[in-house]
Amino acid sequence: MGLFDWVFGQFIDVIEWTDNSQDTMVYRFNRQGNEIKYGAKLTVRESQIAVFVNEGEIADILGPGIYELETNNIPILTSLQHWDHGFNSPFKAEVYFLNTKRFTDLKWGTKNPIMVRDPEFSMVRLRAFGTYEIRIADPKKFLNEIVGTDGHFTTDEIEAQLTNLITSKFATVMGADETPVLDLAANYEKLGAYITEHIAPSFDEYGLELTKMLVENISLPEEVEKAIDARSSREITGDLDAHIKYQSGQALGNSEGSASDMVGMGAGMAMGQQMANSMQQPNSTSTPPPLPNQIAQYFVAVDGESDGPYSLEAVEKKLLSGDITKETLLWTQGMDGWEKASSVLSATFRQTPPPLH
């Protein structure tokens, strides 16, 4: 290697970055103390942004394209370096490439159950998990707030922080949502959009955009799920007797059951069968008894003719007025024939004073 080859080898004349990874967000071009040649070629590919940093201060930001680094392409850096128009010497600057594509399939999930109010179950504890997508929206803010001087920044370095941010906001969002727990599964897509809308502003502080958030599952505590399963089984079975027979058959088919299990099963079968029979027996009280205060109707024999019917009250008035005597014949429903009033109304006659003379 000649002297001139060594000298020109110290100057960088091609700046570019090809990313083979799927998780690199920021890459600092490695110049190892070498100076950048004035007029060097800079290649910024699609989904990339190149940021020039001079002595720790962000200068020029260049989007996709091919550039020859001269004073007209990097005006801020030119101003910071106090270059004149005749400048053509190598210069020192740090070049950061930012990956502006979407970073997908980032995981989020609640570490602990979240207590929320539910219109059907009153209060329930929920667990949830899913995925989300982000991309760099504000390169300057992202470098200043998150990356710093990190020369190779990946999603792993910020994923935990973003997950904590999501879960902390998730409780607030779910608390304001009035969708019943049993209807959440049918609304995962709408719920994801709703959560994205309300959590996205928190990502702006980091120079990031939350492009999409997906809810893959929202689960209830195991005890509540078992109660729901039991209720669903009763609804599906319908016939209690058939359900008991089915469960008994399942238990008998389990060859691993112990003797104590079989005894307990037999007691359960007997109790269940008794319950089923009691539910299937006709209700003896389905037909109401006759009214206890039915009004008895009396017929009175007057001059060989049947007169009436009269109520007991009316008959007693006739008795007091003297229209009816002990010898007057009476008949009411249930009697075989006409009988004297003294026999039919014996209790009334004992309570009735004799007529005044």
Q: pLDDT by residue (tens digit) across 157-178? A: 999 899 988 888 887 877 777 7
Compute the average pLDDT of residues 84-110: 83
User: Higher model confidence: residue 102 or residue 256?
Assistant: 102
Domains 103-222 and 297-351 share a fold: no
Q: Evaluate if residue 322 carries a pLDDT over 70.
A: yes
Name which of 56, 86, 49 is nearest 71 in CA terms. Answer: 86
Sheet with 339-340, strands from edge to edge, namely 305-311, 297-302, 329-332, 339-340
Judge whether 243 and 232 are in contact, CB under 8 Å: no
103 contacts 134 by C-beta, under 8 angstroms: yes
Are the beta carbons of 123 and 115 closer than 8 angstroms?
A: yes
Fold designation for 297-351:
Dna Ligase; domain 1 (3.30.1490)
Q: Is the pTM of this model over 0.95?
A: no
| Residues 172-219: tens digit of each pLDDT | 877 777 777 778 777 888 888 888 888 899 899 999 999 998 988 888
154: part of which helix (H) or strand (E)? strand 152-154
> What's the CA gap between 203 and 270, in Å, rounded?
63
Name every residue whose Cβ is closer than 8 Å to that of residue 106 and which is 6 or more positions away in sequence. Answer: 131, 132, 133, 134, 155, 159, 162, 163
Q: CA separation (Å) from 266 to 252, 262, 270, 329?
A: 10, 6, 6, 69
Total H helices, total E strands in the chain = 12, 16
Neighbours of 77 (CB within 10 A): 19
Which residue would you say has higher pLDDT here, 8 or 252? 252
Tell me the residue length of the chain. Answer: 357
Q: What is the largest CA-CA distance in the chain?
A: 165
**For the chain, which residues make up each domain, given as ranges?**
3-99, 103-222, 297-351
234-251, pLDDT tens digit by residue?
666 656 566 666 666 666
Q: At a CB cut-off of 8 Å and minimum separation 6, what does 328 contact?
A: 300, 301, 340, 341
* CATH 3.60.150.10 at 103-222, yes or no: no
Q: In the structure encoding, which two tokens stand for residue 282, read together?
A: 């006709």
Q: Is 305 in a helix, a strand, or coil?
A: strand
Residue of higher predicted confidence among 82 and 37: 37
Structure tokens at 277: 């029979």
50-77 pLDDT, tens digit per residue, is: 999 888 888 899 999 999 888 777 877 7
